[in-house]
Amino acid sequence: MAPHDHTGTPPDARPAALIDAKIDAALGERVALRHRIGEREGRPLHTDAVGRLSDGGAGTVVVDTRKGPVRVERAAVVAVRVVPPAPGRRASWSAVSRLENLCADAWPAVVDEPLGGWRLRAAGGFTGRANSALAVADPGLPIAAALDRVRAFAARHGIPTRLQTPMGSPWSEAAKREGWVLDGGHQAGPEVAVLVADLTDLAALPSTAAVELTPAATDAWWAITGAPESEAERHVLTAAARPGFAVARGADGTPTGALRAAVVEDHLHLSRLATRSEVRRQGLGTALTAAAAAWGLEQGARWAVLQVNLQNEGARALYARLGCTEHHRYHYLGPG
């Protein structure tokens, strides 16, 4: 941003103690920070830096701008104010569609029938993802006819009539116009955030536990996550093309945590994170995620993707700490 030449009463005249107090109050926030960069014909020159503010030590602060960090002497700051976060850029619907299809491949239903760009899925009722119609493209039919096909498929397989579709998408809005509404009967909650992260960043996370990763689910993995209650459940959890099953162990070799991973194209899908209650909040989730990310990189993946219900505040907080960001959200709709 170009320097500004100000005339009149300079903001430099404000008491330094007041500016310091405002800086301290704004640490950690996204700010617009004005500071002196020199003089021209006896008049002070100023410029602005916008970004997250942190203490730089030795009498300085750092503004993490889009172009990189800007270090500023505290004594040069003339004004600071907190500004709202920059609006996120929404992913294109084609990018959302691709990612949803990758997630569906990583969480394979027993039955998966195409309906144009939709996927009709059933897996004995195990999870909404594997027992719903994934609507992320043109179904090749008028929307009313496509939804009738969804109803018929669900009745044939004995599962609830349910549509999984990105929130705000053309397919969601079209279904709503046909009278479909948010599916309040979905046990885990009808709204889900899809998170992504750079695998290199996840693999570099500090690890506090030994983790082993195998291409097949072991007895130790099932002991943590729970034995499958049906063959359909076993299929969903184990039938992905390139799965990985991570198990963390304590100092005595006892299994303490588990995580499921699956590589699909350039993405590593993460799911089924579980730890024993007596060892929670000891970094096991971080250790399992880091180990799975390192394995994913070896398999040629670049990005991580995971689906977290909006009601699962604990998981959302964990993955936010690990650096995962929201790509989009989807919800489940059912006939009104």
247 pLDDT band, cuts 50/70/90, is very high
Query: d(Cα 265, Cα 274) in Å, to the nearest integer?
Result: 25
Q: What is the pLDDT of residues 103-120, one digit of tens each?
A: 999 999 999 999 999 999
What pairs with residue 178 in β-bridges? none
Query: d(Cα 248, Cα 210) in Å, to the nearest integer?
Result: 6
Pairing verdict, β 303-309 and 267-275: parallel
Say how far residue 137 (Cα) sits from the centre of its chain.
22
Determine the average pLDDT of the residues in 12-33: 82
Determine the average pLDDT of the residues in 283-311: 96
Q: What is the pLDDT of residues 193-219, one digit of tens each?
A: 999 999 999 999 988 889 999 999 999
Give yes or no for residue 13 having a pLDDT over 80. no
- 31 Cβ contact partners less than 8 Å away, ≥ 6 residues apart: 50, 51, 52, 53, 63, 80, 81, 82, 83
Chain length of the chain: 336
Token pair of 121 as six digits: 């899925």
Q: Which of 13-27, 235-249, 293-307 has the lowest mean pLDDT?
A: 13-27
Over its C-alpha atoms, the chain yields an Rg (Å, rounded) of 25
176-192 as b/e: b if 16+ CB within 10 A: eeeebeebeebeeebbb
Give yes or no for residue 37 having a pLDDT over 80. yes
pTM over 0.85: no
Give yes or no for residue 125 having a pLDDT over 70. yes
In contact, 175 and 143? CB cutoff 8 Å: yes
Location of structure tokens 């299809």: 101
Determine which helix (DSSP H) or strand (DSSP E) holds 1, and give its type and residue range: none
Q: What's the first-to-final CA gap in the chain, in angstroms?
A: 52
